[in-house]
Every structure is written in C-alpha cells, then in structure tokens.
Structure 1
Amino acid sequence: MITPGDTYRSANSRETTRIRVEKYTPGRSHAFVVTLTPDGRAVRRRALEVRQLHDTPLTRAGQPRRTGYILARAITQGQPS
C-alpha cells in the first residue's frame, strides 16, 4: 500500500536515486513524489505512475527488479536488493 511519507529507491543498481511520496489517493494511477538529495532535501516534484512503485525488490518470478522504485522498508527488512 502506498502511503505519503514512504521512501523508495531506484531498482536500477547503477542509480542512487531516492524518492518520497508526498501525496497519493488510493485508486488513482499517479502519486506525487519528490526526489531526495543525499542530505535529504526534497527537489524535483512530479507525478509518477504507481505501477513504478514496488513493495519488494523481487518480481513474482523471483528475479531482481531492474526498473521502477523499491520501498526502502523492504530493503531494511533483510530482503535482497
């Protein structure tokens, strides 16, 4: 479930991009997010399709995700990144 305040990181291992959900209405196709700088400042506000936001770092087939954004909580709970 997408919740405002959730932090996600890029699924692309070559990127260090982190985003935070600012606003989301359940059932909508887009969430409003901001890109976070390394020091935590919010920059680049934009709408992002919710299908790009993932709860787990693995696909249903068990393969690591290569696109989209992975919920940071999923990473800290010991799941592979």
Structure 2
Amino acid sequence: MASGNNWRQVVQRVVKSEMSVRGVKYQALSDRLAEIGIVQSADNLRNKVNKGIMGADLFLQILMVLNARAVSCESIEEILVDLDQNA
C-alpha cells in the first residue's frame, strides 16, 4: 500500500506535469486562479505543489484552470508503481 508521502508525490507530479505540458509557471497559475476568485500567491502555490499538500478543493481548482487532462486510476497507479520502483 502506498504511503502518505507517495500520495503527496502523486499530487506533485500530476500538477507539475499539467503545468509543464501547458508551459504555465507559478505566477501564471496564480493569475488563472485569481480569475476564478481564488487568491494564492505564486510562492504559496510553489510550496504547496512541491510538498504535494493542498486541499482537495485547491487541487481541483488548479486542474480546472489548467484545463487538465483526465486523471485516471491507471495513471495514478503508474505513478505509484514508478515511485515504488525508484524508492
């Protein structure tokens, strides 16, 4: 079973991957969130993403403003397997 830290790394990888695919930096992410009424500084977002610790609401809001691809159980499992193999 995956540890709590592994789940945090899944959150981190999903968000960073979506940001990378779209070429979005933290300031732009902050700006996009502000457009929907969510106030988060770029530094605060960087800390939350790097730690993989954020509320489910913020996670979903980030995915929405990034117009993220669907996150499937299979993709989550692939990340967890990769984390276990590289541990």
Same fold (TM over 0.5): no
TM-score, normalization: structure 1? 0.26
**Which structure has the larger Rg over C-alpha atoms?**
2
More helix per residue? 2
Kindly indicate whether structure 1 or structure 2 has the higher relative contact order, using CA contacts under 8 Å at least 6 residues apart: 2
More strand per residue? 1
TM-score, normalization: structure 2? 0.25
